[in-house]
Amino acid sequence: MTESFFEFQSRSARLGRKTKEPVMGDNPPLTVAQLNDMISAVIRSGVPTTVTVQGEISNLNYNRASGHIYLTLKDERSCIDCVMFKSDVEKLTSIPKNGQRVVVRGSVRVYTQRGRYQLYITRLTPIGQGVLEAKFRALKEKLEKEGLFDPSRKKELPLYPQQIALVTSQDGAAVEDIRKVFSSYPWIRLILCHVPVQGAGSAERIARMLLRLSSEPEIDLIILARGGGSLEDLWEFNSESVARAIADCRVPIITGIGHEVDVSIADLVADYHAHTPTQAAQVAVTHWKRAHDLIEKASERLVRSLSHTLNQARQRLVWIERHEVFRRPTDRINQMLQRLDDYQRQLEVGLHKTADGCRRRLTMVESRFSVQHPGGRVMVLKAKIENLGRLLYRAGLTRLLSRKQTMESLDRQLQALNPNRILERGYSITFRKRDQKMIRSIKDIRSGDVLITRLCDGKVESLAKDPDQPELFS
């Protein structure tokens, strides 16, 4: 009768109690390969050559290069690693999927290179979807009918978030992956909100944390993350409570759960679904990556705009400087004085015409009344008309004097601004002859420039010399 592994272990223990413990130097130590070979021999002798096992598939990996399939077969209490070689895979009508319940037939052997035992499958028969897969599909259909996956319901991510809440386990690998991304953006405040992401009660704690963060006004964005794992490891993110908490959250949420092939209910409800925690962090800082370039381009546009505005202002200043008003300011004053004289003459003519008309009308009225009713009333009207004529004449003269005073005030102001007055006090203005540009600094003069200096009573032409160049005749 073949001795099982446990019987072999028990017999070895009894023998060990009867014999003296060997000294380290008595027997040479085993190599790792020898130890694995011993364990493999014990398993082969203690486990039936062929076993039939029923379970649910998870962590399936179909290596297309080699044609082999690697998977984990599990039930409610335990799991075992399995491998199915290409020759047996080719006999299948279809490639199995995660969550599928199957009956497999094969043998248990030790993979000595890694020191672990595996079930080598030679035959695989599907018996229907797994329990978790069925629950997943049922919840997905329910929430989809309610519209929780509708893109129009999802919130837009902030372009430049400054305070981001990371909802995950503080012991998980996702924390370090996300921190590596945010290390390049020290101005962003990353707040770690620790919650368990696996095990009983984890879904409720995740949901409560999301609802709590929803009421925090300073939080700009939430990242809900977890590292990779099997379907059962990620099952808390397929919870209805987590899905509804994500949908009700005021703050936009990015999910980065598991690997690229993993899609949970939380991913479908979230405002943005990233395939991994690292990608979730990269999505959060997408616009911050381009912020430096945007600022540089905006600065360039601002410099060009300011330069254009400055050039336009400089051209207008040159045009104003060359305008005839500034070149001959007395001409404008003389024109205004001439216009004032014209107004005075027109007013005098108008007053005389008005007075003559009044006199003619008075004469006509006087003659008419003298014929009809010669008496005191005619004299009263005559005196009133003469008085009105005098008032009109004085009002015209007053208005004329006011206009004249205004023009004289303007004349004095223009005379005060007249450049010739400045020149009369001993100052001078120097221009470059070739382009008539005014010289404001010694930097505007080059050796050999012909300069024109304007004084109050004339102009002087001169030639600029380089002080560092020696003269030919000294």
Supply the pLDDT for residue 370: 64
Residue 474 in this model has a pLDDT that exceeds 80: no
- Percent of the chain exceeding pLDDT 70 equals 87
Rounded mean pLDDT of 370-392?
74
Supply the pLDDT for residue 166: 93
Hey, what amino acid is at 16? G
* Residue 105 structure tokens: 């037939």
Residue 400 in this model has a pLDDT that exceeds 90: no
- Percent of the chain exceeding pLDDT 90 equals 23
Q: What is the pLDDT of residues 95-108, one digit of tens each?
A: 888 888 889 999 99
Supply the pLDDT for residue 371: 58
Supply the pLDDT for residue 68: 93
Describe the strand order of the beta sheet including 253-257 as a list of residue ranges.
189-194, 163-168, 221-226, 253-257, 272-274
In this prediction, residue 128 has a pLDDT band, given cuts at 50, 70 and 90, of low
Rounded mean pLDDT of 349-373?
80
Closest CA to 255 of 213, 224, 233: 224
Q: Which of the 8 DSSP states describes residue 142?
A: H
Query: What is the C-alpha separation between 462 and 306, in angstroms, rounded?
Result: 37
Task: With beta carbons less than 8 A apart as the criterion, state whether 211 and 249 touch.
Answer: yes
Supply the pLDDT for residue 469: 60
Supply the pLDDT for residue 33: 80
Supply the pLDDT for residue 375: 56
Decide: residue 138, CB within 10 A, 0-12 exposed, 13-18 middle, 19+ buried.
exposed
Hey, what amino acid is at 112? T
Q: Is 226 helix (H, G, I), strand (E, B) or coil?
A: strand
Q: What is the pLDDT of residues 147-169, one digit of tens each?
A: 888 989 899 999 989 999 999 98
Residue 28 in this model has a pLDDT that exceeds 60: yes
Rounded mean pLDDT of 420-430?
76
Rounded to the nearest 10 degrees, the angle between the axes of helix 32-46 and helix 5-18 is: 120
Rounded mean pLDDT of 216-237?
84
Supply the pLDDT for residue 115: 84
In this prediction, residue 209 has a pLDDT band, given cuts at 50, 70 and 90, of very high
Rounded mean pLDDT of 287-301?
85
Q: Which of the 8 DSSP states describes residue 29?
A: P
In this prediction, residue 40 has a pLDDT band, given cuts at 50, 70 and 90, of confident
Rounded mean pLDDT of 234-260?
88
Query: What is the C-alpha separation between 380 and 386, in angstroms, rounded?
Result: 10
Lowest mean pLDDT among 73-82, 179-188, 260-269: 260-269
pTM: 0.45
Rounded mean pLDDT of 337-349?
87
Q: What's the gap between Cα 124 and its chain centre? A: 53
Query: What is the C-alpha separation between 167 and 174, in angstroms, rounded?
Result: 10
Supply the pLDDT for residue 454: 82
Rounded mean pLDDT of 19-40?
69
